[in-house]
Structure 1
């Protein structure tokens, strides 16, 4: 069988019928439910997809319904420790919860991984079958991408909190801690009002600026993903509100400095946009990436 590229099976823009629970909600309250949407995309052997197409049968492919129900079940199971028992007399005995958006994304990815391999195993091919010559098997092309959006996770971020988790190679044994992954966490729609611009009319009144903060991590890196989203966004927004820069370059650098000096992070990407600056342009601005070392800050390895 000729070597082929991977195919993909996906669920897009899934509105979870059950809420997720994080350590803190937008008002910093613990164990409060909030809505979430997600998409999941799994690489799949093209040889098996071809067999499904040739025979016009689902016997060689992955069942969407099984994938969805497994993810939903995993989310419900992960919520059990977060939902307080209202009959518990002492609130301090109620379960505490420390999940953040990355943990939820990993729950979805783990559930998808289990379904992927259970479905491939169910196709019942002999070990010497030509289907296993597909480079998905020979070159270990397994890849699962989860995009998760919590629209109401952060009070001053109108577009919410986003997480993209891409996992590839998984540990062979449970005690192994190796995983090939890329992780991106993004905070969108941080709206501030400040004096910004070089034109005389821009120096008279405050105008709205919209910020986004992006954090990226991959295997072997530490100090890359924040934990205190609420506190960070509040500090950045409150500081930006008081600024009076002429350029978005200076404003973006100011925001990056707040993040990297006041929080234990190694790098941040800051996007600053001015929606009111040009009449026929929806947003004008720039995006910068800065490391903590740019501001003279060094971090010890974790």
Structure 2
């Protein structure tokens, strides 16, 4: 199976779709993934966003003024997502038919498990992009098993966001995206997965001016790790590493802080997740903002994008 691609590259390959249907921030609660203190099984809020990029424009639906097969019913899409989270999706019900399986309110082992479960219920394809239907299944039967008609989709993007899964930030999200084949092919081609820790607000000693050397100011950090192939929840540890580096900082520039932070995060990933490492490591994007640095601007920002193996000298 091919390696994951960076999410930005999958979006680039998808191009501008002729039509798109989206549901943004569908909210409910969930148990299973880690919370801000890395505790499992605690109830917490979750929001899910889905974007379905179609291969063709919805001409039939628009001309007939009704929802036809050339589009996606966003109301039913929302219901299908909620059903998956509640354990009523087709993949979960199929697993329940196995002897010895029992229902559980704590069905999800991680945030990645949440995203993959919703994806499988909507597309009938597993984490590697392979159809879960057997070779003996007819095409029509395969379509019945999934909510989305994959033969009509150019690209599908799914994001699950845990807004309270961070002690100092705006939560954690995981985004999965896949480009679907042309000419009737239903198996995704390039696919990606990225973890994002949103808006960590950390008091940091940073700046070149004399007043900035006298006291800490809030720096807002957003960390994104692409080609994220790690099954377990590691976002609390990544947050802890980030906060430690920023709290002990005495740099004058955001550029120096970003470089040090990149090295620290790359070291953590390579030491703790060596068994999951991609051939070229993980793409890491770090954005650092100083909200009060420029009085008449919302913030000044520096962004750094690196490959973890290159930061560590190609190991």
Same fold (TM over 0.5): yes
SS at match of 2:227: strand
Q: 2:4 — aligned with what?
A: none
Q: Is this contact kept in 2: 1:62–1:119, CA < 8 A?
A: no
Pairwise CA distance, 1:212: 1.0
Task: Please say if 1:168 is aligned against 2:179.
Answer: yes
Larger RCO (alpha carbons 8 Å, 6+ apart): 2
Q: 1:12 — aligned with what?
A: 24
Q: Whole-Å Cα distance in 2 between the matches of residues 227 and 113 of structure 1?
A: 24
Q: Whole-Å Cα distance in 2 between the matches of residues 286 and 143 of structure 1?
A: 31
Query: Max radius of gyration: which structure?
Result: 1
Which of 138, 159, 181 in structure 1 is aligned with 2:170?
Answer: 159
Deviations 1:210-245 (A, max 9, x none): 111111118xxx67x884111221122022111101
Q: Is this contact kept in 2: 1:105–1:147, CA < 8 A?
A: yes
Pairwise CA distance, 1:186: 1.0
Q: 2:79 — aligned with what?
A: 69
SS at match of 2:255: helix
TM-score by length of 2: 0.69
More divergent stretch after superposition (232-241 vs 245-254): 232-241
Which of 285, 289, 293 in structure 2 is aligned with 1:269?
Answer: 285
Residues 1:5 and 1:178: Cα distance change in structure 2 (over 3 Å):
closer
Q: Whole-Å Cα distance in 1 between the matches of residues 263 and 224 of structure 2?
A: 14
Q: Is this contact kept in 2: 1:6–1:141, CA < 8 A?
A: no
Q: Whole-Å Cα distance in 2 between the matches of residues 69 and 103 of structure 1?
A: 19
Two-structure CA RMSD over aligned residues (Å)? 3.4
Residues 1:152 and 1:251: Cα distance change in structure 2 (over 3 Å):
same
Q: Whole-Å Cα distance in 2 between the matches of residues 164 and 278 of structure 1?
A: 32
Which of 45, 49, 55 in structure 1 is aligned with 2:64?
Answer: 55
TM-score by length of 1: 0.72
Q: Is this contact kept in 1: 2:202–2:243, CA < 8 A?
A: yes
Q: Is this contact kept in 2: 1:105–1:163, CA < 8 A?
A: yes
Q: Whole-Å Cα distance in 2 between the matches of residues 95 and 148 of structure 1?
A: 18
Q: Whole-Å Cα distance in 1 between the matches of residues 84 and 191 of structure 2?
A: 20
Which of 148, 151, 164 in structure 1 is aligned with 2:160?
Answer: 148
Q: Whole-Å Cα distance in 1 between the matches of residues 291 and 159 of structure 2?
A: 26
Deviations 1:179-237 (A, max 9, x none): 5312222111112112111111111111111111111118xxx67x8841112211220
Q: 1:293 — aligned with what?
A: 309
Q: Between Structure 1 and Structure 2, how many residues are aligned?
A: 253
For structure 1, the residue ranges without an aligned partner over 5 or more in a row are 82-93, 123-135, 171-176
Pairwise CA distance, 1:261: 1.1
SS at match of 1:42: strand
Which of 200, 213, 221 in structure 2 is aligned with 1:190?
Answer: 200
Pairwise CA distance, 1:96: 7.5
